[in-house]
A and B are shown apart, each in its own frame.
Chain A
Amino acid sequence: MNRERIEEFLYREADLLDRPDLDSWVNLFAENGIYWMPATEDQQDPINHISHIYDDRVMMEIRRRNFIHPRASSKEWEVRCSHVIGNIRVAPVDKDQVTTVTSNQHVVVWYREEQRLYACKVSHRLRIEGEDFKILEKRVDLINPSAPQQSLIIYL
């Protein structure tokens, strides 16, 4: 497993979210891909416990369309992000060509004339597809998932 290629993939994904370009970003996910932001620490269950986000491709497709809709008032505000990624760890590749990559990410979000800081541990379950990867699951664990949250209209 080429670690550099994995890092490059994480940076490319972060670039798309920084811009943000959700139309391109959703294509990084496998057809059965999932984006998960738990609502509590060490959450085990995405289905029988509430999450901030637990999107399959159906919900990603709806969000992507909503994000650029001219009548979405919460999206009239410019949103830009800056992801900084560190502490990358790569697990061995399993027999299905799947690996799990964990990282710490600090994301600064500019929205509604304010800068906010999110700190999270991110784990990507990636399927290796030749030179490229598809995201099977991206899990974003905020350091304060059960604190009151402000509106967040973009994926971290």
Chain B
Amino acid sequence: MTSVPTGDFSEVVTPTRVHRSLYTDPDLFELEMTRIWGQAWIFIGHESQVPNTGDYFTTNINHNIPVVMVRDKSGTVQVLHNRCGHKGAKVVEARSGNARGAFRCSYHGWSYRHDGSLLKVPNEAGYEGTGFDSANPCYSMQPLAQAESYRGFVFATLSPNAPDLKTWMGGARECFDNLCDRAPEGEVEVAGGVLRYEHQCNWKFILENLNDTMHPMVVHESIVKAAESYLDSLPEDAVEQRKEAEIIPPFGASYEKFEASGITGFPFGHHYDGGKTSIHADYSVDPDYHAAMVAAYGEERTREIYAFNTHNVLFYPSLTIKCAVQNIRVIRPISVDRFIVETWSFRLKGAPDSMLQRTLLYSRLINSAMGMVGPDDLEVYRRAQEGLASPSNEWVEFHRQYGKDEQLEDRTVGGGTSDLDMRTQYRAWQAYMEGSIFDKVEQT
């Protein structure tokens, strides 16, 4: 590819293939940042990160547009452009903190209320009679086109045309419900810090890998074998060691097991694998946690909550969550061959500390740059990034079980080893890129 298609992307995306330029072309990347990341609801943060008035958290909504999530005086969580209305400097530089009273630009001292409105311009007399109108919203820290939260998870979009957040999430939002319902108090909060992992490849590789159930038994064979060989070396009574090591072998689950877990796709590119069962289904349940759940929900409802067992849920393109493990990964693109993955962990309110500790153990072993699973995933993404420079085949294929995807009212379902997840996300990719993604959306 030498140039980016303008209106019609069918020459680079088909139902079963995408062109290799999707991973390698910097112009295409820039367009993705505008058309996908500039239209979709992007995960910004969680309300529990900003509990008090003036608490803020900063990030970029795409590869370079800085935003700040802040709780204003009325208690509302705002998502503002992190840009001074004067000369354009970023107003907030720290990743998180509290802006007592107001945000103040470090260049000329313009200050802003927590809702972004302009509070004060120093030595304002000089503007008298110049036509400058401090009430004009263009001189504020402007709110993004839309911001909403669902069960504490804050999303924002640069597009005024995006449907409301619930409509956009569609049926996949039941995964947020399940994540929160796993807390005896029905709420989660960010806890235990963040891991940030640099990936030297295109951002789409990780999204494709989440529910690619044909890879774990190959990519993670070594760590599974290492854990099994260690488990075999243990004496019968090494109960604690066994319990600790058991977190790893499910990554080598068989094709049959993954097939049974199923994949479900939704409009706008979201998808998950699992539902009734997943590779996380067989982890043992902490008895104190179980008691707290039964006290809160009763035995039957508790069983129902456990039974909804997804592995990875993708909210295309920025967020993937693990309900059963209570961690999330946030995708922050940087360039065509570079992005950051942030792993955040959550405390289930009302659950014993052991649950957060288990979540953190999981994040550490699996998602850390120094973990035992993530580096093998990244290694194969990088090999794909390097291999796709070859012009020998212009296409990347995803035919598995094509034609067998079953269309239900609000979702598509298929076998757990199908490429339904790929077809789902690239259908959305194409619609975002062609500008038709929000056509004919009925708000719920």
Contact = CB atoms under 8 A, between A and B. Distances in A.
A112 to B, nearest CB: 8
Contact of B245 (A37, A49, A58, A149): A58
Interface string A57-79: 01101110110011111110000
B360 A49 contact: yes
A35 B109 CA distance: 47
B376 A62 contact: no
A147 interface: yes
A153 interface: yes
A59 B244 contact: yes
A149 B196 contact: yes
B375 A153 contact: yes
B353 interface: yes
A52 interface: yes
Nearest to B382: A112
Interface in A20-78: 37, 39-40, 47-54, 56, 58-59, 61-63, 65-66, 69-75
A149 B198 contact: yes
Interface string B354-392: 001100100111001110101110111001000000000
A69 B222 contact: yes
A69 to B, nearest CB: 4
Contacts of B375: 74, 151-153
A141 B327 CA distance: 24
A146 interface: yes
A148 interface: yes
Contacts of A149: 195-198, 368-370
B329 to A, nearest CB: 13
B222 A71 contact: yes
B238 to A, nearest CB: 9
A87 interface: no
Contacts of B357: 47-48
Contacts of B376: 72-74
B225 to A, nearest CB: 6
B441 interface: no
A2 interface: no
B4 interface: no
Interface residues of A, number: 34
Contacts of B229: 65
B98 to A, nearest CB: 18
Given A62-B230, A66-B226, A153-B375, A50 B356 contact: no
B444 to A, nearest CB: 36
Contacts of A150: 198, 200, 369
Nearest to A47: B357
A150 B343 CA distance: 14
Contact of A52 (B222, B233, B245, B364): B364
A151 B382 CA distance: 12
A91 B60 CA distance: 45
A133 to B, nearest CB: 24
B222 A50 contact: no
B361 to A, nearest CB: 8
Given A51-B364, A151-B379, A62 B195 contact: no
9 contacts: A39-B193, A48-B191, A48-B192, A53-B368, A65-B226, A66-B222, A146-B196, A151-B375, A151-B379
**Can you list the 9 inter-chain pairs with the closest CB atoms, starting with the nearest?**
A72-B222, A69-B222, A65-B226, A149-B369, A66-B226, A151-B375, A74-B379, A148-B196, A148-B198
Interface of B: 191-198, 200, 219, 221-223, 225-227, 229-230, 233, 241, 244-245, 248, 340, 343, 345, 353, 356-357, 360, 363-365, 368-370, 372, 374-376, 378-380, 383
